[in-house]
Chains A and B, each alone.
Chain A
Amino acid sequence: MSNHHPVTAVLVVEDEPLVRMHGIDILKDAGFDVFEAADADEALLILGDGTEVHLLFSGVDMPGSMDGLQLAHLVHERWPHIHLLLTSGHHKLRDTEMPDAGKFVRKPWTSEALVRQVREFV
């Protein structure tokens, strides 16, 4: 089923432009197709367009109508095949706080740690 689709397309959601650029650079260098959004609303527009995304990689603290955790729950509800990876420098999320099979990576990420986490989704 679609749950077993290998991750090749990642949507990066992060409000700090430099942090977002850095994340995109790391994932592009690792060979992923990358889409970007500055907040949850932009992310939902991209997903609503039918863009094929296999992984949502989002910051937790974000301005706008919802934070990363709320976005993750909504995405999980509407597009259950999309994997979830959340990141924060302040909150350490437990797996139980996240929707099914969601993962957490702590900021600041090194490129190795980030790529390893993304590759763990199969």
Chain B
Amino acid sequence: MTHRQVADDGALDFADLFETAPCGYLLADADGRLIRVNRTFSGWIGQDPAVLQGQRVSDLLTVPGKIFYETHFAPTLRMRGRLDEVALDFVGADGRKIPALVNGIERRNENGAVIQIRFAVFMAAERRGYERGLLEARDKAEAAIVSERADSELREQFIAVLGHDLRNPLASITSGIRILEKEGLSERGRKVTALMSGSVVRAVALIDNVLDFARGRLGGGITIACDLDEPLEPVLRQVVSEMRSISPEQEIATRYALEEPVACDHMRIGQLLSNLLGNALTHGAKDQPVRVDASTAHGELVIAVSNGGAPIAPAALERLFQPFFRGHDRVRQGLGLGLHIASEIARAHGGTLVARSDAVATTFIFTMPLGGITDRMD
């Protein structure tokens, strides 16, 4: 280390260093009355140093600054002997606020009595402005979160109401169809009501999927309610019969071997089967039957839906469960939400949905533990 600067100390003008230092110096007595301030500080304040002399430090501060000084700064300084980087606002002679950071240190005699308090004052307009900006930004962000939450609640309500208002007229149409069917219709009339039924089923399925998707995007996710008291098979049969009404010309072969109760949400599993069947009927070969196989074995529920036709390419197979995915030949109908929602329903039940495809058949296999959601709710 070289000490050339130190060696020149003798030439330093300490009085000038005090007066024109790049920070304000305040010297006060034990009571906090100013004994002396430097020119840098008196320049900032816009007061003659002689006028400042005898004033209390706290008299130079804004009202909140004064309170903070008296209740916090002074007592802490007394306790610790020093305090650094305290943000205080001084008031200039023209009433202007001067944001500053203040370091304070007590000078004590050999008996421990305070003989002088020394303050270094740093202009901090920019830094304090920055800090204030940060605080404001935080407040704004918090306000934005609150309003975002309110928005999403509103959207959730909107979706619920929309779903309700869309389903009600469809329920009316279904009832109307049932009433007409008992009126002794002609062959043609029966065909029309059957097709109308199918259209309603499609519309209901689409509404369910869109609402579930919207809810999922809002963070609500798929909600499930466990039904253990009623058997699952009639629910699945009902779905198959509805899908037959949509595609009366296509064969759906079924096999049910549901020996054990399954802790699942019946409406949801019905929706899952409906989505898988809808997919198979739309994309499978029309001249081959669609097969549904539902069974319980080895502590699991397995529902497999398969169709014939050209196999799905491995690359497409991976993306089948993404929302809005509709491979190359998948432009005819639908939003591409059915398989996505089906996989979400599987997940909500602690199960899996996988797809396999080869030259013989394309098969979707849903598997879930029989304990299903009751296990998960523990």
Q: In the assembled complex, which residues on chain A have CB atoms less than 8 Å from the CB atom of B267?
A: 92, 106
Task: List 13 additional A-B contacts (Cβ < 8 Å) besides A16-B168, A22-B178, A23-B175.
Answer: A16-B171, A17-B172, A18-B175, A21-B179, A22-B175, A25-B182, A61-B164, A89-B167, A90-B167, A107-B171, A108-B175, A110-B238, A111-B178
* B144 interface residue per 8 A CB criterion: no
Cβ 8 A contact of B172, one of A16, A90, A110, A111: A16
A-B residue pairs in contact (CB < 8 Å), sample of 15: A16-B175, A17-B172, A18-B173, A18-B175, A18-B176, A21-B179, A22-B176, A22-B178, A22-B179, A23-B175, A61-B164, A90-B163, A90-B164, A92-B267, A108-B175
Whether, in the assembled complex, B225 has its beta carbon less than 8 Å from a beta carbon of chain A, the answer is: yes
Cβ A21 vs Cβ B171 within 8 A: no
Tell me the complex Cα distance, A65–B181, Å. 35
Q: State the Cβ distance, B336 to closest chain A Cβ, in Å.
A: 25
Is B179 a contact partner of A18 (Cβ separation < 8 A)?
yes
A111 to B175, CA, bound (A): 11
Q: Which residues of A contact B (CB under 8 A)?
A: 16-19, 21-23, 25, 61, 89-90, 92, 106-108, 110-111
Bound complex: CA of A46 vs CA of B267, how far in Å?
A: 35
Q: Assess whether B40 is interfacial by the CB under 8 Å rule.
A: no
B225 touches A92 (CB 8 A): yes
Interface string of B130-170 (1 = CB under 8 A from A): 00000000000000000000000000000000011001100
- Contacts of A90 on B, CB cut-off 8 Å? 163-164, 167
Interface residues on B, range: 10 to 19
Bound Cα distance from A75 to B16, whole angstroms = 95
Residue of A nearest to B171 (CB): A19
With an 8 A cutoff between CB atoms, is B174 at the interface?
yes
Q: Write out the residue numbers on chain A whose beta carbons fall within 8 Å of the beta carbon of B182.
A: 25
Summarize B's interface: helix, strand, loop or mixed. Answer: helix
Bound form: Cα–Cα A108–B176 in Å: 12
- Residues on B with beta carbons closer than 8 Å to the beta carbon of A19: 171-172, 175
- Which B residues are in CB contact (< 8 Å) with A89? 167, 171
Instruction: Determine whether the beta carbon of B225 is less than 8 Å from that of A108.
Output: no
Q: Within the assembled complex, what's the spacing in Å between the Cα atoms of A23 and B168? A: 15
Contacts of B175 in A (CB 8 A): 16, 18-19, 21-23, 108
Q: Compute how far the CA of A22 lies from the CA of B168 in the bound complex, rounded to whole angstroms.
A: 14
Residue of A nearest to B174 (CB): A108
- Are the CB atoms of B164 and A108 closer together than 8 Å? no
Which residues does chain B contribute within 8 Å of A61, judged by CB atoms?
A: 164
Question: 5 tightest A-B contacts by CB?
Answer: A22-B175, A18-B172, A18-B175, A19-B175, A18-B176
The CB with the most chain A CB atoms within 10 A, among B163, B173, B178, is that of B178
CA distance A29 to B24 in the complex (A): 98
